[in-house]
Amino acid sequence: MKAILRILYLNSPLYDFLTATVIEGLLQLRHERGVELVVASHSNYAPRSIVWSPERILGDLASFDWIFLGTNEGVNLKLFEKLDRPERSVCVDGSDESAYTHSPDDFRVYFKRELPIAMTPPENVLPCPFAVEHRWWTEGEPIRDIFFSAVFDPTTGQRGELLEELKTLEGEGIELGGIRASVWTSLNGVLRGQCSFRTWLTRRFAVGHNRAYHARLESSQLSLSMPGEGWDTGRFWEILGSGAGLVSPPPTIRMPHPFSESEHFIGFEDFKSLRAALEGARMDPSATVAMRRRARQHVLAHHTTKERARYVLDALTCWRGGQD
């Protein structure tokens, strides 16, 4: 099948949540959408077979319909400067900050993870948060003997304060605190293609698959996500992928096909409102089950990595049509 779109992705050698989201999704859409993907690093689920050297990329530059520039450490910016095709350039900005990593004016389309609802972006800037990776998805309906979990450590002041307040909750089935990953769990990220072994030796953060952590989510009726450095966090999507009911402050960033409070997740503003919401959930467990099912269908329709990549491709198709 002849490729409809040929995409070059200059990706970080580190495991980057948003880059992994887009690459995993594009690989799933290769045959359905006729996408041929070439990358600069063996990372973020990209197999070695599609990794090209800088020399080969420069030699075949004219064949690419779109050139994606990822963010995070190690992205080959010098190579990107040599490509110099702004009419075909796309930035996938997965940084924690609302500030742009690069100038949107230098790109045809700019996908931004932390895009505040309160901000009016330029026309070519589109929201692009994380999505549910394939490894986060739980099939079936496991036994959920934990009523409520908060599976994180006090890594920020806000998380630490809330964890202390959560300790005052009464009732059975409450589990608080993170689950440390083993070295083997981290090394497993190399086998999954999240990064190379050489990269793993120096940077192990967020690499691997902590099975004990995900088992905790899968055993929870409700689980809490709290923002970290940015609002968007992997835990938000991990909880949704596990099938647990999401408990989270309402999103402050733009999202395609956003989640609705009460319909898809339990929202709260402070500990007082969180405690009241949990008390209500204990009294009406059937409402929690119904909410979880609605959220699951919404994720399948719009927020898997495959659907996030489809969103990206659909946006590019619009821009391509507009320029031709």
pLDDT single digits (tens) 58-105:
999 999 999 999 999 999 999 999 997 889 999 999 999 999 999 999
Looking at residue 79, what is its pLDDT? 96
Instruction: Round to whole Å and give the CA distance between 151 and 184.
Output: 20
Q: Is 45 left (phi over 0), alpha (psi -120 to 50) or beta?
A: left
288 lies in the same domain as 256: yes
246 lies in the same domain as 317: no
Looking at residue 321, what is its pLDDT? 56
Q: How far apart are the first and last CA of the chain?
A: 23
Looking at residue 323, what is its pLDDT? 47
126 lies in the same domain as 213: no
Domain CATH code at residue 18: 3.40.50
Coil, strand or helix at 203: coil
pLDDT in tens for each of the 324 residues of the chain? 445 789 999 999 999 999 999 999 999 999 999 999 999 999 999 999 999 999 999 999 999 999 999 999 999 999 999 997 889 999 999 999 999 999 999 999 999 999 999 999 999 999 999 999 999 999 988 899 999 999 999 999 999 999 999 999 989 999 999 999 888 888 889 999 999 998 988 887 778 999 999 999 999 999 999 999 899 999 999 999 999 999 999 999 999 999 999 999 999 999 999 999 999 999 999 999 999 999 999 999 999 999 999 999 999 988 765 443
93 lies in the same domain as 58: yes
* Integer CA distances (angstroms), 214 to 49, 101, 267, 289, 303, in order: 30, 31, 22, 19, 18
290 lies in the same domain as 277: yes
Full domain range(s) for residue 175: 134-302
> Whole-prediction pTM value?
0.94
287 lies in the same domain as 209: yes
Alpha helices in the chain (DSSP H): 17-28, 30-33, 54-59, 77-83, 157-166, 183-191, 197-202, 211-218, 234-242, 271-283, 285-302, 305-323
* Integer CA distances (angstroms), 123 to 39, 101, 115, 116, 239, in order: 27, 17, 13, 15, 32
- Is the dihedral angle over the CA atoms 184, 186, 192, 196 positive or is it negative? negative
116 lies in the same domain as 103: yes
Query: Looking at the 3D structure of the chain, how many domains does it have?
Result: 2
90 lies in the same domain as 238: no
Domain CATH code at residue 291: 3.40.50.2000
125 lies in the same domain as 45: yes
151 lies in the same domain as 45: no
145 lies in the same domain as 292: yes
296 lies in the same domain as 175: yes
* Token pair belonging to 60: 């075949």
